[in-house]
Structure 1
């Protein structure tokens, strides 16, 4: 007989994969990953949609709340036994080590999560167990990241859309909260952490790998690549201005920096897509 929770998860998983991480319903607009663990008893792979919190350049946090139930979720018991897991973000897939945080480190991480979303505190209040917090630390691998795309051009577009979504989350958060509120500051720090680090890594990868590859095979693109490199530097300076504004968040200053960054980055992404996707996908006009 079908299990309603399993059916619900299967629908979310299918929608997540079909739409590169975008889903509707209760998870719409939220931060969601697909977490594949190895069954503690069976050794079989199990994939579960799980909410997450960006918390550093090399890891994210997942919280085993199970909606405040008295029992740990299955995925948590699995990763305690088998700490190596697979993470799907909708665009990227990577292997990670799951580290269960303990003591003060756990409490501080949980407090950061609650600062962003009071729902975690509500779950803790519903149960006598201490809700575990787990850091998923990406396992470094050689070569480019594993992007869930069918072509290099699609890969570029998907990664760019991640940055567009992150900026949209920042603007949405600014519009939804009262100026100067602590929740606004916490959410903006999380969004900026994700956006700024990801953008830096992407541009560094382009400068060191993709652009030299294209320059070698298509020398006529050198002026385009030089322009894109210069724009990387300009955008990095705008990102730093946003970081500075978020250090002591004044809504007007943050909004100004977000608007400037959005304008410059959208123009950059659009130009790069127009110029590079035909080359990457082997279409010459």
Structure 2
């Protein structure tokens, strides 16, 4: 007999993978991952669409809400029994170690989640159980990240789309803000900044020298991209300084500046790098 929840999840999973993390319906415009756990009793692998919150550094947070159900979701019971999980972001796939937060750390993280989306508070009000908050720590591996792309050029475009999508989410969060700068919004912005810094550093250190050696004619474009990296790093630092205060107007201004400059940079990079990468 068909299971409505399983059928719904399977449709989301297929749409997520087919569109590199973009889905419609109730998850449209949100932050979503596919979380694969190992069955606590069966040892079988199970994949579930789960909303997440950025948390800086090498971890993200997921909340075992089950829509306010009186029972923990299966994926939560699985990762308690088997803490190593697989995370799919739509672009990246990686192994992670699940850690259930406790005490003040859990309470602070859940408060940030509620500040970001009141729906979490609604789920908590529907049940007597305390909704668990779980940190998923990426397990470092040697070599480049595992990007779900068929070519180096597509990998660059997909990574760029991650930045575009995250900036759009941050702009949406800012647009819905009132007089204070939420703690979760700060984390979201700073996580984005760190990811962008890591991406540009990798290009400067590894990709650009590789391409310059094989395509000397591309050196003027690569030099321009390096210069733009330095300029964007300055904008990122100015955003960090704005985030240290409580003035939403200043943060909106810096996010708008960064968005404008970054969009132009990404478009120029795709125009000049994707043909070289796919040729290489």
TM-score range relative to shorter protein: over 0.9
The two structures have a TM-score, normalised by structure 1, of 0.94
Gaps of 5+ in 1: none
The two structures have a TM-score, normalised by structure 2, of 0.96
Map 1:3-82 → 2, pairs under 5 A? 3-82=3-82
> Contact (CA 8 Å) 1:215, 1:221: kept in 2 or not?
yes
State how many pairs are aligned: 280
Q: Per-residue deviation at 1:208?
A: 1.4
**Alignment RMSD:** 1.4
Q: For 1:99 and 1:18, how far apart are their aligned partners in 2?
A: 29
Q: For 1:75 and 1:174, how far apart are their aligned partners in 2?
A: 32
Q: Per-residue deviation at 1:218?
A: 1.6
Q: Deviations 1:24-55 (Å, cap 9, x if unpaired)?
A: 11111011000000111111110000000111
User: Does 1:238 pair with 2:244?
Assistant: no
Q: For 1:154 and 1:169, how far apart are their aligned partners in 2?
A: 22
User: Does 1:207 pair with 2:195?
Assistant: no
Q: Per-residue deviation at 1:187?
A: 4.9
Q: Secondary structure at the match of 2:186?
A: helix
Q: Per-residue deviation at 1:96?
A: 0.3
Gaps of 5+ in 2: none
Map 1:106-117 → 2, pairs under 5 A? 106-117=106-117
Q: Which residue of 2 aligns with 1:97?
A: 97
Q: For 1:199 and 1:110, how far apart are their aligned partners in 2?
A: 26
> Contact (CA 8 Å) 2:96, 2:137: kept in 1 or not?
yes
Q: Which residue of 1 aligns with 2:136?
A: 136
Q: Secondary structure at the match of 2:134?
A: strand
Q: For 2:221 and 2:113, how far apart are their aligned partners in 1?
A: 42
Q: For 2:136 and 2:255, how far apart are their aligned partners in 1?
A: 29
